[in-house]
Amino acid sequence: MSRNPDKAKRHFWKRIGKFFDISRKIILNLVFWSFLLLIILVFLPQRIRIKENSLLYVKPEGSIVDAVSPQPYPSGLIPFLSTMEESSSIELGEVIRAAAEDDKIPGIILDLSNMQYASLAILQDLEQDLNIFKETGKKIYAWAPEYNQYAYYLASLADIVYLDRMGRLTMSGFGVFRSYYKKGMDKWDLDMAVFKAGTYKSYVEPYSYDHMSDQVKRENLRWTTNLWDQVLNSIATNRGLTYSELKNWVDRYPQYLLEADNQEAQSAANAGLVDRVGTWDTFASEMTKITGYDTDNEGFRSVHWLDYQTHLSRKSSSPFGKTVAVVTASGDIHSGEGTQWTIGSATLISRLEQAEKESSVRAIVLRLDTGGGSAYASEEIRRTLERIRARGISVVVSMGGVTASGGYWIASEADQLWSAPGTITGSIGVFSMIPETDRFLEEHLGIAGDGAGTTWMSGQGRSDQALNRSSRMVLQSGVDSTYHQFLSLVSENRNIPLEELRPLAEGRIWTGTEAKRIGLCDNTGSLRNSVQAAADLAHLEEYNTWYVPGGTPFLKDIASSFLSQALTAFQGGGGSAFHILELTENLSDLKTGKVYALSPISNRGKN
Within a domain: residue 4?
Answer: no
Q: Which of 311, 340, 366 is the last residue of a domain?
A: 311
235 and 304 fall within a common domain:
yes
580 and 526 fall within a common domain:
no
299 and 361 fall within a common domain:
no
253 and 325 fall within a common domain:
no
Task: Report the pLDDT value the prediction gives residue 8, as an integer from 0 to 100.
Answer: 65
Q: Which residues contact 592 (CB under 8 A, 6 or more apart)?
A: none
527 and 571 fall within a common domain:
no
Q: Which residue has the higher pLDDT, 588 or 294?
A: 294
Task: Report the pLDDT value the prediction gives residue 40, as an integer from 0 to 100.
Answer: 58
Q: How far apart are CA 495 and CA 114, in angstroms?
A: 45
Task: Report the pLDDT value the prediction gives residue 160, as an integer from 0 to 100.
Answer: 97
Enumerate the H helices of 101-213 as residue ranges. 120-135, 149-155, 182-187
User: Helix (H, G, I), strand (E, B), or coil: what is residue 410?
Assistant: helix
Within a domain: residue 395?
Answer: yes
475 and 379 fall within a common domain:
yes
- Tens digit of each residue's pLDDT (9 = 90 or more) over 12-30: 667 777 777 777 778 877 7
- Tens digit of each residue's pLDDT (9 = 90 or more) over 270-289: 999 999 999 999 999 999 99
pLDDT above 70 as % of the chain: 82
Within a domain: residue 580?
Answer: yes
26 and 62 fall within a common domain:
no
pTM for the structure as a whole: 0.82
Using alpha carbons, list the distances in angstroms from residue 369 to 69, 121, 143, 352, 452: 13, 10, 29, 16, 47
Across 323-351, average pLDDT: 94
Within a domain: residue 502?
Answer: yes
Q: How far apart are CA 429 and CA 485, in angstroms?
A: 10
Q: How far apart are CA 174 and CA 546, in angstroms?
A: 35
Query: Comparing C-alpha atoms, which of 317, 382, 314 is closest to residue 348?
Result: 382
Within a domain: residue 524?
Answer: yes
Taking each continuous run of H as one helix and of E as one strand, the counts in the chain are 22, 23
Task: Report the pLDDT value the prediction gives residue 570, as an integer from 0 to 100.
Answer: 39
518 and 604 fall within a common domain:
no
Using alpha carbons, list the distances in angstroms from residue 26 to 19, 22, 29, 326, 568: 11, 6, 5, 49, 20
159 and 232 fall within a common domain:
yes
Task: Report the pLDDT value the prediction gives residue 296, as an integer from 0 to 100.
Answer: 85
Q: Which of 260, 283, 311 is the last residue of a domain?
A: 311
pLDDT above 90 as % of the chain: 74
544 - beta bridge partners? 323
Within a domain: residue 123?
Answer: yes
Using alpha carbons, list the distances in angstroms from residue 47 to 57, 240, 296, 479: 18, 41, 16, 58
- Tens digit of each residue's pLDDT (9 = 90 or more) over 178-191: 999 999 999 999 99
- Position 563 pLDDT exceeds 90: no
Q: Which of 262, 291, 311 is the last residue of a domain?
A: 311
- The CA-based angle 571-576-581, given to 5 degrees, is 155
Q: Which residues contact 264 (CB under 8 A, 6 or more apart)?
A: 167, 168, 169, 257
58 - beta bridge partners? 110
Within a domain: residue 455?
Answer: no
469-494 and 375-390 are packed helices; what angle lies between their axes, rounded to 10 degrees?
A: 30
Domain count, the chain: 4
37: containing domain: 11-44
Task: Report the pLDDT value the prediction gives residue 65, as an integer from 0 to 100.
Answer: 95
Enumerate the H helices of 3-54 as residue ranges. 5-43
409 and 277 fall within a common domain:
no
- Position 259 pLDDT exceeds 70: yes
- Position 534 pLDDT exceeds 80: yes
Across 82-101, average pLDDT: 88
Task: Report the pLDDT value the prediction gives residue 79, as an integer from 0 to 100.
Answer: 47
Enumerate the H helices of 211-359 as residue ranges. 214-239, 243-251, 253-259, 264-270, 280-291, 305-311, 345-357
The pLDDT-based confidence of 39 (bands split at 50, 70, 90) is low
356 and 339 fall within a common domain:
yes
164 and 281 fall within a common domain:
yes
The pLDDT-based confidence of 559 (bands split at 50, 70, 90) is very low
Q: How far apart are CA 77 and CA 265, in angstroms?
A: 37
Query: Comparing C-alpha atoms, which of 403, 384, 379, 407 is closest to residue 395?
Result: 384
Within a domain: residue 192?
Answer: no
